Amino acid sequence: MAPAGNRTRDGTGEVTAAEAALMLDTGQARAAGERVIAWAEALAAHTDHPGQLTVAYLTPAHRQASLELRQRMREAGFDEVLEDAVGNVVGRYRGREPDAPALVTGSHFDTVRDGGRYDGRLGVLLPIAVVAEYAARGARPRHTLEVVGFAEEEGLRFHSAFLASSALAGSFDFGLLERTDADGTRMDDLMRAHGLAPEAIAGGARDPSRVAAFVEVHIEQGPVLLERGLALGAVSSINGARRVMVRLRGVAGHAGTTPMAMRRDAGAAAAEVVLFVERRCASQPDLVGTVGMLAVPGGSTNVIPGACEFSLDVRAPQDAVRDAALEDILAEIAAVCERRGIACELEHTMNVPAAPCHPELRAQWRAAIEATGQAPIELPSGAGHDAMKMAEIAPIGMLFVRCGAGGISHNPLETITAEDAGAAAGAFAAFVARFRAPAR
# residues near Zn ion by CB under 5 A: 2
- Looking from the CA of 373 toward its CB, the CA atoms found within 13 Å total 13
Going by C-alpha positions, the residue among 236, 238, 230, 239 that lies closest to residue 369 is 230
**Which residues, numbered 342-361, are part of the site for Zn ion (CB under 5 A)?**
none
For Zn ion, give the closer residue by CB, 119 or 265. Answer: 119
For Zn ion, give the closer residue by CB, 120 or 422. Answer: 120
Q: Angle 390-396-397 (CA atoms, 0-180°, nearest 5)?
A: 135
Contact residues for 225 (Cβ-Cβ < 8 A; gap 6+): 231, 232, 233, 379, 400, 401, 402, 403, 407
- Min dist CB 378 to Zn ion, Å, is 19
Going by C-alpha positions, the residue among 130, 326, 165 that lies closest to residue 246 is 326
Spatial distance between the Cα atoms of 116 and 408, rounded to a whole number of angstroms? 9
- Min dist CB 155 to Zn ion, Å, is 11
For Zn ion, give the closer residue by CB, 119 or 152. Answer: 119
Spatial distance between the Cα atoms of 239 and 243, rounded to a whole number of angstroms? 13
- Min dist CB 14 to Zn ion, Å, is 38
Decide if 231 contacts 423 (C-beta within 8 A).
Answer: yes
For Zn ion, give the closer residue by CB, 162 or 172. Answer: 162
For Zn ion, give the closer residue by CB, 19 or 119. Answer: 119
- Min dist CB 122 to Zn ion, Å, is 9
- Min dist CB 111 to Zn ion, Å, is 9
Report the SS3 class of residue 232.
strand
**Which residues, numbered 96-135, are part of the site for Zn ion (CB under 5 A)?**
119-120
Residue nearest to Zn ion (CB): 120
Going by C-alpha positions, the residue among 424, 417, 354 that lies closest to residue 382 is 354
Decide if 309 contacts 271 (C-beta within 8 A).
Answer: no
Spatial distance between the Cα atoms of 65 and 392, rounded to a whole number of angstroms? 28
For Zn ion, give the closer residue by CB, 120 or 250. Answer: 120
Contact residues for 135 (Cβ-Cβ < 8 A; gap 6+): 76, 77, 78, 93
For Zn ion, give the closer residue by CB, 158 or 400. Answer: 400
- Min dist CB 275 to Zn ion, Å, is 32
Spatial distance between the Cα atoms of 290 and 315, rounded to a whole number of angstroms? 9
- Min dist CB 162 to Zn ion, Å, is 11
Amino acid at 44: A
Spatial distance between the Cα atoms of 297 and 171, rounded to a whole number of angstroms? 39
- Min dist CB 108 to Zn ion, Å, is 6
- Min dist CB 107 to Zn ion, Å, is 6
Strands 145-150 and 294-295: unpaired
For Zn ion, give the closer residue by CB, 125 or 268. Answer: 125
- Tell me the residue ranges of DSSP E strands in 39-113: 80-83, 89-93, 102-108
**Which residues, numbered 312-341, are part of the site for Zn ion (CB under 5 A)?**
none
267 near Zn ion (CB under 5 A):
no
For Zn ion, give the closer residue by CB, 127 or 250. Answer: 127
Spatial distance between the Cα atoms of 59 and 32, rounded to a whole number of angstroms? 29
Judged by the rule CB under 5 A, the positions of this chain that interact with Zn ion are 119-120
